[in-house]
Amino acid sequence: MIEVMKLKRATDSLQLNHKITEANNGEEALQLLEKKDSLPDIILLDLNMPKINGIEFLKILKTDERLKYIPTIILTTSSNQRDLLECFRVGIAGYILKPLKYEEYVSKIENLLAYWSINELITV
């Protein structure tokens, strides 16, 4: 929950008008994605989630024909090389280490959203 609040605070401070849908764990996120008529433009995913961790969530996402093309960016504190390699092997669009300083976090979120707002996405 703290991470979601930090993300919302960052996007609010940047005055970005993005709709953020949050899930408290991987199971809830999958349920939200299955129910939705329209899919998100990107998914920001933490590796440390309850019930289904980020890598397990990613593997499920990438085997679903409807969901596998959604760009998924890992936003985490883990600098573990095995996590990084496994995420890229499964098929992420990016891996961002969360900085300790809030100002750096806001800057990374701004750059991330700016990049994906101009990117052409596949629609299925």
Q: Which domains occur in the chain, in start order?
A: 2-10+42-118 (3.40.50.2300)
pLDDT for 67: 92
Give 29-72 pLDDT, tens digit per residue: 999 998 878 888 899 998 888 888 889 999 999 999 999 999 99
Rounded to two decimals, the pTM is 0.82
Spell out the SS3 assignment of the chain: CHHHHHHHHHHHHCCCCCCCCCCCCHHHHHHHHHHCCCCCCCEEECCCCCCCCHHHHHHHHHHCCCCCCCCEEEEECCCCHHHHHHHHHHCCCEEEECCCCHHHHHHHHHHHHHHHHHCCCCCC
